[in-house]
């Protein structure tokens, strides 16, 4: 059985951010499928809850930026969301639809990808439903749950024992001193990334991840800082540099 958690400074994983949002419309099946085709080790995606209690794969709590609709995701049923074109943030790829979480899981269930599932709508209900869906598929052992709200990551870890990704303290909503105790990993934006922060996290037993190194130069910076996973809008520079350096030893 594959061990999904062998990342290290010498075995750096590459995760596609919302699929590969610099290349295809974010959080669409097209973006996820094509990111898989690039050879990523992991996919990152986002969840919001609809009016009828369904899990929609969309980053913002509003549909305004990424679709041709207007309004809050929570005010739409899943069927209504399906009528929107989700390709508006990166046009040129035809009409794209907002996937339901189960559609995303249909795509990835039988792959060997590590999954990074972000609870964007910071509610326990969203977390509960996402974890239940993953558990039904029997794939919780290769999932890292993410949320910017410290109370939600603490809740998910304490209730379900799942691995959770948080963020540096100054980026966490509702940060409390105990948040770090429930983090498997911390995602560090390139604007916050330093060798000192990486070493601090290592000292606390927290895996240092980063987002989004999308050029050769920023990939080199992330490597020099000692990260173990890179979440990329464009995974191609990371894949190329890490492969050339022998830093992707997939197991």
CB 35 within 8 A of CB 43: yes
What is the percent of the chain with per-residue pLDDT over 70, rounded to a whole number?
99
Q: How confident is the model at residue 251 (pLDDT cuts 50, 70, 90)?
A: low
Q: How confident is the model at residue 250 (pLDDT cuts 50, 70, 90)?
A: low
CB 149 within 8 A of CB 48: no
* CATH number of the domain bearing residue 80: 3.20.20.190
The 10s digit of each residue's pLDDT in 180-211 is 999 999 999 999 999 999 999 999 999 999 99
Total count of domains within the chain: 1
> Full-prediction pTM beyond 0.95?
yes
- Identify the pLDDT of residue 158: 98
Q: Which residues contact residue 55 at a Cβ distance below 8 angstroms, ignoring those fewer than 6 apart?
A: 47, 48, 49, 100, 101, 102, 126, 129, 130, 133
CB 247 within 8 A of CB 10: yes
Any domain includes 250: no
- Identify the pLDDT of residue 249: 77
Alpha-helix residue ranges (DSSP H) falling in 92-190: 101-108, 124-137, 150-160
- Identify the pLDDT of residue 128: 98
Q: Is the peptide bond before 247 cis (omega within 30 degrees of 0)?
A: no
CA 50 to chain centre: 20
- Identify the pLDDT of residue 3: 87
Average pLDDT of the chain?
97
Residue 233 has pLDDT above 80, yes or no: yes
Residue 242 has pLDDT above 90, yes or no: yes
Token digits of residue 43 = 């996919």
Any domain includes 5: no
Task: Look at strands 55-57 and 42-49 and give their pairing.
Answer: antiparallel
Percent composition of the chain: helix, strand, coil (DSSP 3-state, to 5)? 35, 20, 45
The 10s digit of each residue's pLDDT in 107-159 is 999 999 999 999 999 999 999 999 999 999 999 999 999 999 999 999 999 99
Any domain includes 7: no
Task: Look at strands 114-119 and 163-166 and give their pairing.
Answer: unpaired
Any domain includes 163: yes
Domain with 204 in it: 13-244
Any domain includes 61: yes
Rounded (5°) CA angle 28-87-164: 35
Residue 91 has pLDDT above 70, yes or no: yes
Any domain includes 2: no
Any domain includes 134: yes
Any domain includes 1: no
Active site residues: 17, 59
Q: Which residues contact residue 187 at a Cβ distance below 8 angstroms, ignoring those fewer than 6 apart?
A: 146, 165, 166, 167, 209, 210, 211, 231
Q: How confident is the model at residue 2 (pLDDT cuts 50, 70, 90)?
A: confident
- Identify the pLDDT of residue 54: 98
- Identify the pLDDT of residue 64: 98
């Amino acid at each position: 059985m594959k061990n999904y958690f062998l990342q290290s400074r010498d075995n750096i994983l590459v995760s596609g951010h919302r699929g590969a949002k610099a290349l295809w419309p974010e959080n669409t099946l097209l973006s996820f499928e094509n990111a898989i085709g690039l050879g990523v080790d992991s996919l990152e995606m986002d969840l919001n809850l609809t009016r009828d209690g369904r899990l929609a794969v969309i980053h913002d709590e509003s549909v305004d930026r990424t679709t041709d609709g207007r309004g809050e995701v929570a005010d739409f049923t899943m069927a209504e969301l399906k009528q929107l074109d989700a390709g508006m943030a990166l046009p040129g790829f035809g009409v794209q639809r907002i996937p339901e979480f189960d559609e995303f899981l249909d795509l990835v269930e039988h792959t060997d990808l590590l999954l990074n599932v972000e609870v964007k709508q910071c509610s326990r209900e969203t977390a509960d439903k996402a974890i239940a869906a993953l558990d039904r598929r029997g794939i919780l052992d290769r999932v890292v749950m993410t949320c910017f709200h410290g109370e939600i990551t603490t809740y998910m870890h304490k209730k379900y024992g799942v691995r959770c990704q948080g963020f540096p303290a100054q980026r966490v909503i509702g940060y409390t001193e105990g948040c770090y105790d429930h983090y498997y990993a911390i995602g560090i934006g390139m604007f916050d990334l330093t060798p000192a922060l990486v070493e601090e996290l290592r000292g606390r037993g927290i895996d240092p991840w980063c987002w989004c190194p999308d050029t050769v130069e920023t990939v080199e910076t992330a490597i020099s800082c000692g990260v173990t996973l890179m979440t990329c809008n464009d995974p191609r520079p990371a894949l190329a540099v890490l492969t050339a350096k022998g830093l992707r030893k997939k197991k």
